Amino acid sequence: MILEFLQSLSEMQIVGELTVLSLLIGGVIMAGGVIIAKIAKLLFHKYYAPSLPKDTAQNISKLIYFGILIISFLGFTSSQGIDLSGIMVAGGIFAVVIGFATQSVVSNLISGLFLIVEKPAKHGDTIELPDMGISGTLLDIGTFSSKVRRFDGTVTRIPNEKFFTSNIRSLTLSTVRRADATVGISYQSEIDDAILVMKNEILQTMPFVLQIPEPEFRIEELGDSSVNIHVYVWHPRDDWSNAQPILLNTLKRALDKSGIEIPFPQRVIWTGKD
């Protein structure tokens, strides 16, 4: 019964030698390939990816998935009796036509390959793209685009061409990073005393601030109302949130505790009679 059914399918020609049966076999090969590719990808993610660097795991995962798909496709074409050598010749001409028509797509693809080879940033790095005003964590460098999760939780998709040609500022490449803040003290206050109390408070209450190099204090400006001091502290690269957002608070607390005035802008007005 089944054999008869298959026999009937093999006799139903679609185009040339292409029959419904061969198309069905091709479909089974492709479907099998997709299923095997997905299972292989899943098993890789489950058992091997956790022990690898994230970007390496992602690239190997893509290689496995698309590798199996390509093998399945080759199996599909040979099952249909398609001669690939003819397609290769036609494909060359076709590729030129497609290349002109889809320049940006090809450009994104090539840029993606260069990004994977050059690795200006890797998966999980915190980066900033000053030209685009984007900063966040690099989630993925894909075939055509890259994804960056911004600090507000939203994900931005950037075409690889733009990503590749823009300035990339890596915030996690160095071992340590620097945080800074400016604080103003009154002209009546002793600058050395203010620096000493601020330094002591930073070293005592900010455990992520490095002792070496020491916090640095520079007189930035003799301003209209205050002497402005710029403070620089170093911290481990992953602990920005334990340094920068609380630095100004620490400085103010230190000055408040020791009674050093942080002046408001003020202006002395002399009238003509005076």
Partner 1 sequence: MKIMSDNSEISFSNFGVYDLDDQMELTLPNTMIKFNRISENAFSYYRENSEGKIVEKIIPVKSSDVKIELAPIRPLNYPARRTNHLFLQFDKEIYLSENSAASIFVNCPIEIGIFLVHDSNYDSLDWVTCDPLNSRFGLYGSPDTGTLCKYAKVSMANDYDDSDPYVEAVMQIVVENTMSFGQSISKVVFPITDNSLYYQNSKAIIDGLKITMKKRAAVNIADVQTTSLETDWSASPTWEDKTASTHMEMGLE
Q: Scanning residues 127 to 186, which ones bind partner 1 (CB under 8 A)?
A: 173-178
For partner 1 (CB under 8 A), the number of binding residues is 23
Cis, bond preceding 159 (omega within 30 deg of 0): no
The distance of closest approach from Cβ of residue 94 to partner 1 in the complex, given in angstroms and rounded to an integer, is: 42
User: Which of 50, 86, 153, 259 touches partner 1 by CB under 8 A?
Assistant: 50
Buried b (16+ CB within 10 A) or exposed e, 188-227: ebeeeebbebbbebbeeebebbbeeeebebeeeeeeeebb
Among 216, 239, 240, 258, binds partner 1 (CB under 8 A): 239
User: Does 123 help bind partner 1 (rule: CB under 8 A)?
Assistant: no
Measured from the CB atom, the residue of 30 and 57 that comes closer to partner 1 is 57
Residue 146 pairs in a beta bridge with 141, 158
Q: Where on the phi/psi map is residue 179: left (φ > 0), alpha (ψ -120 to 50), or beta?
A: beta
- Of 6, 57, 113, 210, the residue at the interface with partner 1 (CB under 8 A) is 210
Q: Per-residue string for binding with partner 1, 27-46, x by CB under 8 A?
A: -------------------x
Minimum CB distance to partner 1, residue 84 (Å): 39
Q: How far is the CB of 270 from partner 1 (least distance, A)?
A: 50
244-257 and 191-205 are packed helices; what angle lies between their axes, rounded to 10 degrees?
Answer: 130
**Cβ within 8 Å of residue 107, ≥6 positions away:** 161
- Of all helices (H) and strands (E), which one includes residue 232? strand 227-236
**Rule CB under 8 A: which residues touch partner 1?**
46, 50, 173-178, 203-204, 207-213, 234-236, 238-239, 242
